[in-house]
A and B are shown apart, each in its own frame.
Chain A
Amino acid sequence: MRHLMSPLDFSTKELDDLFDLATDIKNNPEKYAHACAGKIMATCFYEPSTRTRLSFESAMTRLGGSVIGFSDANSSSAAKGESVSDTIRVISCYADICAMRHPKEGAPMVAATKSLIPVINAGDGGHQHPTQTLTDLMTIRSMKGSLSGFTIGLCGDLKFGRTVHSLINALVRYENIHFIFISPEELKVPDYITEMLDEKNISYEEVISLDEAMPKLDLLYMTRVQKERFFNEEDYIRLKGFYILTKEKLEFAKPDMLILHPLPRVNEISVEVDNDERAAYFDQAQYGVYVRMALILTLLKWAK
């Protein structure tokens, strides 16, 4: 039984097939409107995450399937102390596929080892959030035409941002990608990431200023810089403006640069940027549904 725990669980060939399927779904939605008729997805969300849960539910509904589930631990048997292993055994009797979000790291993996149905990790603490990475890859491939041969700037909190770490790990499997890490000193990308890039001989730069990096970028992946991550207020006030994307900063960007963001946005991208044709973050949310539809279909097919 195949599950999805980490973006690296799928080979690049399997990812290509997945993205091809997602593209076909995007172009021919009616062809897939009943593809999961009679199938049930369980969304087991032990912590609230409205966006991810609704994306999964939208995906299954658009495939003609049904959804059951819970949206926080208090409304599930976990509140009574039931283990993840027991819960998934029971859910396996009720549903054909399960998307699980859990605050404890590795919980979906425990579920996968006991499950009779495919399990999708919909986020486990600060560990993995593979469908966000699949969404990012799908967006890049669809809007740039390829997953190789570009310069990507990752901007903001690169130290704690799991979406950034997952995306880097996924992108290193493709060719000719140059990374520019744009962050304050306090929120630099962890050493184990730069060591991995050094080992694989993959080129990267670490810079503090977004303005400095902007003209070189084919893609800009924005994340939020949270105030509580800084050691002192002074540094925060000094640096926060560096990492807010505005129309003025975009004047130095390439005309076909793509702006991505995992969302939700707080203030790191000015609202005026939304109208710029390079802004791709709402398209990204749409691609997230297509790629989840493709993932559900693929895992159900493999489970047969």
Chain B
Amino acid sequence: MLNIGKIEQGFVLDHIKAGTSLELYEHLGLDKHDYTVAIIRNAKSNKMGRKDILKVECDPSAIDMDILAFIDHSITVNVIKDGEIVEKKDLVLPKEIKNVIKCHNPRCITSIEQELPHIFVLADEEKEIYRCKYCEEKYTRKDDN
């Protein structure tokens, strides 16, 4: 049994798809800060079989919920204050995401325009389809899973 101490303030991200926590760690930009982070991979889960968990000691505003929701909106977000869970956040797919994924259409203006942000807009919530704001190239989250 692995023992990881409680955090006082921050987040516990639970029910992360097994094997994807490092990707999430990078997308959330946690590598750019000096937060205390515990990454638990392949933990046993009744619901999922195996899952990853991220514990982050940080300010409650430090995590971009839109990025988190885009990557996997089935993740359970527990907000921790004074060592206790004070809130469980529901994640909803963001309407727009910026610089999280890149447009791979070689004919898109993002392929040549200097410092142009890669923006994807939610086109179909049910099918989880995003489209590049500029060229409308399709990105389906479900294909990625």
Contact = CB atoms under 8 A, between A and B. Distances in A.
A83 B107 CA distance: 15
Contacts of B132: 106
B101 interface: no
By size class, the interface of chain A is 10 to 19
Interface string B83-117: 00000000000000000000001011111111010
A107 B134 CA distance: 7
A107 B112 CA distance: 10
Contacts of A26: none
A105 B134 contact: yes
Contact of B107 (A105, A109, A110): A105
A110 B116 contact: yes
A161 interface: no
Given A106-B132, A109-B133, A126 B107 contact: yes
Given A127-B135, A127-B136, A106 B114 contact: no
Interface residues of B, number: 15
Given A110-B134, A127-B135, A127-B136, A105 B108 contact: yes
A96 to B, nearest CB: 24
B143 to A, nearest CB: 15
Contacts of A102: 109
A103 B107 contact: yes
A129 to B, nearest CB: 14
Interface string A125-155: 1110000000000000000000000000000
A262 B136 CA distance: 23
Nearest to A82: B114
A298 interface: no
A85 interface: yes
Given A109-B134, A110-B134, A127-B135, A104 B116 contact: no
A125 B114 CA distance: 19
A124 B111 CA distance: 14
A298 B136 CA distance: 26
A8 B2 CA distance: 57
A299 interface: no
Contacts of B136: 105, 127
Interface in A73-131: 83-85, 102-107, 109-110, 124-127
Contacts of A125: 107, 135
Contacts of A84: 109, 113
B133 A106 contact: yes
A4 to B, nearest CB: 16
Contacts of A104: 107-109, 111-113
A109 B110 CA distance: 11
B135 A110 contact: no
Shortest 8 CB-CB contacts between residues of A and residues of B: A106-B134, A105-B135, A106-B109, A104-B109, A107-B109, A106-B135, A125-B107, A83-B114
10 contacts: A83-B113, A83-B114, A85-B114, A106-B109, A106-B134, A106-B135, A107-B134, A109-B109, A109-B134, A124-B135
